[in-house]
A and B are shown apart, each in its own frame.
Chain A
Amino acid sequence: MPRGREFILMLEEVNKTFEGFKAISNLTFYMDEGELRVIIGPNGAGKSTMLDLITGRTKPDSGRIEFGLDTDLTKLSEPAITRLGIGRKFQTPSVYIDHTVFENIWLSLEGSRSVWQTLFSRVTPEQRARIDDILKTVSLDGKAHTLAGALSHGQKQWLEIGMLLAQNAKLLLVDEPAAGMTDEETHKTGELLLSLEGKHSIVVIEHDMTFVRQIARRITVLHQGTVLCEGSVDQVQNDERVQEVYLGRKRREKC
C-alpha cells in the first residue's frame, strides 16, 4: 500500500492475542484526515480491542499503529496518546457524576496536566467562553450547573462527546454512542457527529443500522479481528460475505 500523507490514522498488519484467543489478526486500516468512519461488526469482532490498541490501553503483539505523519502510538502511554489529540468515548457513559456539567468540561479542557498546576489553576474568562461554546455544540447549554449524575442517559453521552471536544481531540473514537438512547436522542447524536465531520476525524463503532445509515459515508466491517470489507452503506449491505457473517446465510452454490 502506498503511504498517503493525508492519513490521520494508520494500522498495518496489527496482531493481538489474548491467552490464545486471536482478537486482532493482520488488521490493516487507514483513515483520512477529517473523515467520519463507521466500524461495524458482530460481537467479538475486535472493535473495542481495536480502540484499546489505538489508545494505548493494550499493546499489539506485532504491527504498526501510527497517528498523523509518523507518530508511533505503540510506544506511548494512554495519557500521552490522549495529549497528542486522540479522544475516546466509552461505551457506557463515563462522566464525573459528582461534578457539574461545567466542571466536567473544565477538567477536560486541554492544557497542563501536572499535579502542581491543578492545585493553583482557576477558570479563566477564555476558558469560560470556550466551555459555553462546547455546551452549545452538544446542546447542553442551560445545564452548565446541573450535576452530571442528574442528566439523562443521552445527555451524559453528549456531555462525554463535549469532553472530547474540550480536549481538542483531532481524532475522536466513539464507541456505541447510540446504545440505550431513544430514537430522538439517537437522531440528534447523529446530527451532532455529522456537524463535527471535517473539523475532526471521527471513528464511530455502532450496531444500530438506522443510526449507521444516518451518519455513514464509509463503513468498515470487522470480522474475527480483521477487515472483512469496506465501502458505502449499500455496498456493505449487499456484500455476500457481510450477510453471511451477520445472518449466517450460506452461499447458494455451497448448499
Chain B
Amino acid sequence: MPPKSSKAELTAVAVVGVFFIVILPCLNAYVPAGSWLHVSDFTINVYGKYLCYALLAISVDLLWGYTGLLSLGQALFFSLGGYMMGMYLMRMIGSLGQYHEPIPDFLVFLGWSNLPNFWKPFNHFVFAMMMAVLLPSVVAAIFGFLAFRSRIRGVYFAILTQALTYAACLLFFRNSLLMGGNNGFTDFKFLLGYNLNSPATQRGLFVCTALSLLLAYLLCKWITTTKFGKIQRAIRDCENRVLFSGYSTANFKLFVFVLAAIIASLGGVLYVPQVGIINPSEMAPDRSLEAVVWVAVGGRGTLVGPIVGAFLVNALKTWATRAYPDLWLLFLGAMFIFVTLFMPKGIVGLPAQLAALKRRFFAPKPAAPKTLPAVIERTRAIEQRPVAKPE
C-alpha cells in the first residue's frame, strides 16, 4: 500500500476511534436523556456488540484476506473466549441464583452440590482471562498444526474448520460437559465487582471494546508492514513460490491462525458481559459464515473493511430482523452473492472501483491501430498471451 493512502487511513481511524472511545460514551453519560444529542444506553449496548463482531471480522480477514485461508469456523474461537468469560461471570453470581446455592444454577439442576474441580480456578478473573487466551490458542495450534502439516488448503480447509466448529457446538450442547448445555450461561450479575446492569458498567465495557478493537487494528496494521506480513500475502498469492524460497509456510500459517484465534476470542470475552448470554448456538456454523459475509461486504484484504462490514451488516440485520424477520437470511445470501460478483473489494474498495468505471466510460478511447504491421503486431501479442497450464 502506498504510504499516502495509509496515512489517510490512519487519520480516519484516529477520528473514528476518538468518536467511539470518547465522544459516544460522553454523550451517553453527560447529555440529559431528553436532548437530541443524547446517546441511549440501548445504542451503546448495540454498538458495543457490533464492535465485538468487528474483532471477529478482523480475525476472519487476517486469515482469509491476508493469508488466503478461508476459515468458516472463527466463531468457535469467539465463543470459546465468551465461555471463559462466562465461567468467571457465573462464579460472580455467587448465591444470588434461582436456587440460592453457592454454585451455578444449572449445576444444581444437574444434581451437583459441590463445584466441579475444573470450575474452581474460574473464581479468579485473571485465570479466566488467561484461559481465554490459552484455550483458543491451543485449539487453533493443534488443529492448525495437523491441517497445515498435511497441506490442507482452499475449500478443504474451509470445510474442516466448519466441521470443527460444528463438532464443538454439539459438544457444548451436552449437559455432561458441565458447561450449561443448550442454555449456556446467563443471568450474570457482576464483573470485577461492578454491577453489569448499570449503564456505567456497560459504558465502561463499551470503551474497553473500542480500545481493544483499536489495539487489534494497530497490531494487524503493524504486522502487514513487516516482512512477515509480506510473506503472509505472498502465501496467499503464490504459496508454492514461498515454499520453494525456503520458508516453511506451515509455520507462518500456524502463527496467523493462532493470532486470529486470540483476536476472535477477545471479541467473545467482551461480547458476553454486554449481551448477557453465551450458549452453543454461537458456535453454530452459520455464525462463522455470517462473519465471512461481513468481511466480504466490507472489503477483504484491508483492515478497515471488516470493521465497516461488521458494523453495516449487523446494523442492517438489527433493522431487518425486526421489519422482515423471515427474509433476513435470504437477504444476507443475496448480499453475499452480489458483493462477490460485483464488488470484489467490498465497500472499502468501492471508490476505486467507481473511479475505474468512470475512466473506462469517460476517458478517450486509445486509437485503434490502423497500419497493417500494427494490426499484425497486436494479433501476435494476443496469440502469444500465456495460457495458464495446470501444474
What is the interface of chain A, defined by CB distance below 8 A to chain B?
A: 55, 77-79, 82-83, 87-88, 90-99, 103, 106-108, 110, 113-115, 118-122, 153, 160, 163, 167, 179-182
Contacts and interface: CB of A to CB of B under 8 A. Distances in A.
Interface stretch (B55-63, B226-234, B269-277): B226-234
Contacts of B248: 77, 79, 113
Interface stretch (B42-50, B114-122, B383-391): B383-391
B237 interface: yes
Given A93-B386, A115-B251, A83 B228 contact: no
B233 to A, nearest CB: 6
Contacts of B245: 82, 107-108, 163, 167
B238 A120 contact: no
A214 B387 CA distance: 24
B246 A121 contact: no
A77 B244 CA distance: 10
B385 A79 contact: no
B247 interface: yes
B318 interface: no
A96 B246 contact: no
A90 to B, nearest CB: 7
Contact of A87 (B242, B244, B386): B244
Contacts of B247: 79, 113
A77 to B, nearest CB: 8
A99 B232 CA distance: 11
Contacts of A103: 230
Q: What DSSP secondary structure best describes chain B's contact surface?
A: helix
B240 interface: yes
Given A179-B386, A180-B385, A181-B384, A79 B243 contact: yes
B389 A91 contact: yes
A95 B238 contact: yes
Contacts of A87: 244
Given A90-B240, A115-B251, A180-B384, A79 B246 contact: yes
Contact of B246 (A95, A97, A113, A179): A113
Contacts of B388: 92
B356 to A, nearest CB: 15
B37 interface: no
Given A79-B246, A113-B248, A96 B391 contact: no
B233 A167 contact: no
A118 B245 CA distance: 14
Contacts of A98: 233, 236-237
A81 B322 CA distance: 59
Contact of B228 (A78, A119, A160, A182): A119
Contact of A153 (B227, B228, B385): B385
Contacts of A181: 384
B241 A92 contact: no
B241 A163 contact: yes
Interface string B193-229: 0000000000000000000000000000001001110
B145 interface: no
21 contacts: A77-B248, A82-B243, A90-B241, A90-B391, A91-B391, A93-B386, A95-B241, A96-B230, A97-B237, A98-B233, A107-B242, A108-B245, A113-B248, A115-B251, A118-B226, A119-B223, A121-B227, A153-B386, A167-B246, A180-B385, A180-B387
Contacts of A122: 227
**Which residue, B245, B252, B384, has most C-beta atoms of chain A within 10 A?**
B245
Contact of B227 (A79, A119, A179): A119
B237 A78 contact: no
A55 B391 CA distance: 15
Given A96-B237, A98-B233, A118-B228, A78 B389 contact: no
B255 interface: yes
Interface string B373-391: 0000000110011111101
A94 B238 contact: yes
B384 A78 contact: no
Contacts of A106: 227, 230
A106 B387 CA distance: 28
Contacts of B227: 106-107, 118-119, 121-122
A96 B244 contact: no
Contacts of A182: 380-381, 384
A119 B247 CA distance: 14
A77 B240 CA distance: 13
Contacts of A90: 240-241, 244, 391
Contacts of B252: 115, 118
A114 B385 CA distance: 38
A92 B386 contact: yes
Contacts of B391: 90-92
B234 A99 contact: yes
A85 B234 CA distance: 21
Contacts of B389: 91-92, 179
Contacts of A79: 243, 246-248
B30 to A, nearest CB: 42
Contact of A118 (B231, B241, B380, B381): B231
A182 B376 CA distance: 13
